[in-house]
Structure 1
């Protein structure tokens, strides 16, 4: 019995060390999978979370969103990059709060974000997009000054059906087109129900869009 106790006592510090090491590694991985500025998932982590949501799309209505801020360059030019960082952080916070607990949000890069969210009541989607747009357009305070911002939101709405599946890249592609359309008219939101692109595709993305395919790391600028 004494030998057993002695062995357990000797192993305890080692086990504790491995526990701390495991927690440390978990934190490093979690940090690497999150955007440093907003704390939102990076692209790869977002794709994993979004895939889990989309796998249940046979039962749920799912909305895929692409969000781009309006007036962000002016905020940077007039108030400086620190003000721009504040605007990005606050936008990320608002999006995360809006999506919880039914979805996932990511910063794709620059002032562009994406979200995938389950919609238990499809009849409320339009109202939710209106609410989100109004919230994102609310001024962000920096150094005591309100920063004027706008937002353009494009969304693809998937309705479940027999054998229905959703390809995330295709959903983001048409959501991006919807976002681009409202951006040309001064901002707002638009909802599409089709996965058929309206614009010519170059490298997997809308013609004229900066960056490479949404599946790659690095983000849009």
Structure 2
């Protein structure tokens, strides 16, 4: 394997990493790859997560969404639930956050049986963070300073998988807005600020829509 195909999966990227480094893979790569593997599990195995729970139609506001349940318990709705997504970064991790839309506004607090909320129960503590990719930001900074082609491939793969998860959401939800930088745009901004950047400066100005 002299080159890594653009369609490579996580297992193939890690095998390429081992080849480039004669089997010696840094711990920071292992941490990022392990967390990305967990994110993969949401798509391929349906691992339990706030992301998966969002699709639980038993928590949808049927009245608002003009929905109904047939004799087999299958739910159909005329209107998609409205949500906003936010790419969230701290010094170590990447997270995808979700906020319900009520009367055209993002909701940050808890709601219960609100007639205009698309969900019958909304608890930010359990539902806002859909998933996390731990150590991804540390790994991106490492890659920009010392990375190889396999490291870059892992970052591209993480971006692709996040976008696939967002695309899957768009099939069932009306995504009103996606705030913040995607992983690819985050990397572009980091590259633009080279060589004299501090990650804290970038994170502080990451999301112009932050309230």
TM-score (norm 2): 0.30
The higher radius of gyration belongs to 1
TM-score with structure 1 length normalisation?
A: 0.29
